Amino acid sequence: GIRSLLDLEKVAVLGHGNGGIVYKVHHKKNNSFYALKVLNFDRNGIGFRQPPTLEAEILKRVVDSPYIVRCHAVFYDHANVTPTLQTKGVSGDLSFVMEYMEGGSLHDILQQHRRLPEEVICVLAKSVLEGLNYLHGMNIVHRDIKPSNLLVNEKGEVKIADFGVSHVVEGRFEANDMNAGTCAYMSPERFDLERWGGENVDEFVGDVWSLGVVMLECLLGHFPLIGPQQRPDWATLMCAICFGERLEMPEKASEEFQSFVRRCLEKDWRKRGTVLELLKHPFVKRNSCCSNKVMRDYVLCR
Ligand code: ATP
Ligand code: MG
């Protein structure tokens, strides 16, 4: 196991987020690479984020699914940050040592390939559904499913990362919380306070909505729901998500893809497809949707 941050050597910066910085680190003793996410208490616990300790609590629980980025260790102690690490910019109070996903995020992949074929989106959809099924089974709603939070490893496996705004649901239905997640991938009920505000909604199907947006973005090659010339500000997005009538579906999309995405992007959360329903959908049951090899060959041969 990883006993101390002292055993880790910083190799590169993998990403900057709202929450902190993610480094690629090398563990000398077992000669392997990890991702180290460092959260600073000073910059957290305000605004859109949960207190970082909640992210840690969730990460410590979600360790036995092949569809969730595995967290190997959590370090709370400021004392673990050595002067050497401090000079390298590691100053956080809370660090997570996670499995390293060599292929980067779906956001990086889309930057490079712009769009993905259905066989690849199928592997992605199936993996995210399996990951959501696992999380929801533990009463955890992710609330921030988007390309930069879906990571790929060298085997072509897709896993869900970043529990920075996730939530543990106490009852099946809970009061709406709009203050979480990236608004572009947020479901209508998360905005629609006038209608659902006082009411309790099923938070789990919000993750299904986000998956639908991601899939459409992958096939179209640009963010769906708003026109390419529109400025994606909060008001434009909110209007498109809550009131937009027309769903831009690529002409070449298969029947199965279209039907799957329509089930995800059903505006009324009561009628939307559930994770269990979609796991049985023909789009992810097709023969072509069977292996990570498709993802690996298409995405990782750069
Ligand atoms: P944001 O606020 O932008 O959502 P965040 O601060 O919550 O981000 P993460 O989403 O966990 O942080 O990570 C930010 C980025 O770092 C990811 O989009 C990805 O590019 C990279 N990254 C995170 N974890 C890993 C990992 N385990 N392996 C490889 N890269 C990773
Ligand atoms: Mg993120």
Task: Answer whether residue 80 shows pLDDT above 60.
Answer: no
**Helices first, then strands: H and E counts in the chain:** 12, 12
| Distance between CA atoms of residues 110 and 133, nearest Å | 25
Name the residue of 21, 22, 33, 108 to mutate for ligand 1: max ligand atoms within 8 A of Cβ. 22
Please work out whether the CB of residue 69 comes within 6 Å of at least one atom of ligand 1: yes
Active site residues: 144
Q: Could you tell me the two tokens for 107?
A: 């956001």
Give 207's contacts (C-beta < 8 A, 6+ positions apart): 132, 135, 136, 141, 142, 143, 145, 275
pLDDT tens-digit map of 206-257:
999 999 999 999 999 999 998 877 788 888 999 899 988 878 898 899 999 9
pTM of the model: 0.90
For ligand 1, whether the C-beta of 14 sits within 6 Å is: yes
Ligand lying nearest the CA atom of residue 50? 1
Mean pLDDT, range 50-64, rounded to an integer: 86
Mean pLDDT score, 279-284: 96
Residue of minimum CA distance from atom 9 in ligand 1: 162
* 146 labelled ligand-binding: no
Q: Which ligand is closest in space to the CA of residue 105?
A: 1
CA distances (Å), 66 to each of 26, 69, 145, 283, 301, in order?
A: 22, 8, 17, 21, 22
Q: How many Å from the N-terminal Cα to the C-terminal Cα in the chain?
A: 33
What pLDDT score does 263 carry? 98
Q: Tens digits of per-residue pLDDT, 12-34?
A: 999 987 768 999 999 999 999 99
Whether ipTM tops 0.90, in short, is yes
Is 52 close to ligand 1, i.e. is its CB under 6 Å away? Answer: no
Ligand 1 proximity of 15 Cβ (cutoff 6 Å): yes
The DSSP string of 107-163 is: HHHHHHHSS--HHHHHHHHHHHHHHHHHHHHTTEE----SGGGEEE-TT--EEE---
pLDDT digits (tens, 9 = 90+) for 160-171: 999 988 888 876
